[in-house]
């Protein structure tokens, strides 16, 4: 099954006094680049999730993000730390007295400013919940990864249909090229015969056999049968790849290069307006196909 390198999925959940939001997205890349943006205080979470992503993705730049927040009702009540508050107030008083001794006037300190100095005790540290939370998050991640993979498969199926249509066009153009090449054979042979007669008439001592060999070599160099046969073979190979399981993007990209090489050679050997037009049409559709292939895993 053909899969796209691009994909996206998100999910929300709650439990153990927290709410969270998952997001996983992927974009095109030459290789595989997996980045996990997770709270670092949940010990073992990255080690549990990374192998799952590696098992699902063969190519692409994948980013997994988790935003975690304590539920308001689960937070411990805000309470001042008495000892810390005494220390802060004593320090503020000493600063005010020193300022007065130097005839400096300070603005009154507000309660909000004291709050900024963190004189309140923090709620229970989240690390205490990390084991149970890690289990819940890891268990939920599989469903997120499945949704992400389903989206990539759906996009891959759409890509396969587009690329399949382009392969049909290439196959049709190859058959047109074969007919055009067959139609020009008699004209090419007649031209070679006329050229041979002209050379022999105007070249004293020319070896007729040698001249005939050179003209035959020119005819062989102008033959496009091999190029057309290879185009047909590449079409069959590409169609087989689209039906194959596993990542096939690199192989399809290589085939588009081979397609383009045959189209270039066809244009170089054309020696006819019709074949030249077909070669240019081939190059156009091959270029379009290569753009699509860049998205295939």
Domains of the chain (ranges plus CATH)?
7-74+128-153 (3.30.230), 79-121 (no CATH), 155-293 (no CATH)
pLDDT tens readout for residues 132-185: 899 999 999 999 999 999 999 999 999 999 999 999 999 999 999 999 888 776
Q: What is the mean pLDDT of the chain?
A: 85
3-class secondary structure per residue, the chain: CCCECCEEEEEEEEECCEEEEEEEEEECCCCEEEEEECCCCCCCHHHHHHHHHHHHCCCEEEEEEEEEEECHHHCCCCEECHHHHHHHHHHHHHHHHHHHHCCCCCCCCCHHHHHHCCCEECCCCHHHHHHHHHHHHHHHHHHHHHHHHHHHHHHHHHHHHHHHHHHHHHHHHHHHHHHHHHHHHHHHHHHHHHHHHHHHHHCCCCCHHHHHHHHHHHHHHHCCHHHHHHHHHHHHHHHHHHHCCCCCHHHHHHHHHHHHHHHHHHHHHCCCHHHHHHHHHHHHHHHHHHHHHCCEC
pLDDT tens readout for residues 195-229: 666 665 666 655 666 655 655 555 556 678 899 99
- Please tell me the predicted confidence (pLDDT) of residue 121: 46
- Please tell me the predicted confidence (pLDDT) of residue 146: 95
């Amino acid at each position: 099954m053909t899969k796209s390198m691009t994909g996206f999925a998100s999910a929300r959940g709650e439990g153990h006094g927290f709410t969270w939001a998952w997001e996983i997205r992927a974009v095109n890349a030459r290789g595989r680049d997996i980045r996990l943006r997770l709270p670092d205080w949940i010990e073992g979470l990255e080690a549990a999730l990374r192998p799952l992503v590696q098992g699902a993705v063969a190519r692409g730049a994948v980013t997994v993000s988790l935003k975690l927040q304590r539920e308001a009702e689960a937070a411990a009540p805000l309470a001042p730390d008495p000892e810390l508050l005494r220390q802060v107030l004593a320090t503020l008083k000493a600063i005010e007295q020193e300022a007065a001794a130097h005839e400096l006037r300070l603005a009154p300190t507000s309660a909000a400013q004291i709050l900024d100095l963190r004189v309140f005790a923090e709620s229970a540290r989240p690390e205490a919940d990390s084991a149970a939370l890690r289990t819940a998050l890891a268990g939920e991640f599989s469903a997120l990864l499945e949704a992400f993979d389903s989206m990539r498969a759906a996009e891959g199926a759409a890509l396969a249909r587009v690329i399949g249509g382009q392969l049909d066009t290439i196959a049709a153009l190859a058959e047109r090229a074969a007919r055009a090449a067959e139609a020009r054979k008699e004209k090419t042979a007649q031209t070679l015969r006329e050229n041979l007669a002209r050379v022999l008439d105007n070249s004293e001592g020319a070896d007729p056999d040698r001249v005939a060999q050179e003209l035959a070599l020119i005819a062989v160099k102008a033959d496009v049968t091999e190029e057309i046969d290879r185009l047909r073979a590449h079409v069959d190979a590409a169609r087989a790849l689209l039906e194959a399981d596993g990542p096939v993007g690199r192989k399809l990209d290589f085939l588009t290069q081979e397609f383009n090489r045959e189209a270039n050679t066809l244009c170089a050997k054309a020696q006819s307006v019709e074949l030249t037009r077909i070669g240019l049409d081939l190059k156009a559709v091959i270029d379009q196909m290569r753009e699509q292939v860049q998205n295939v895993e």
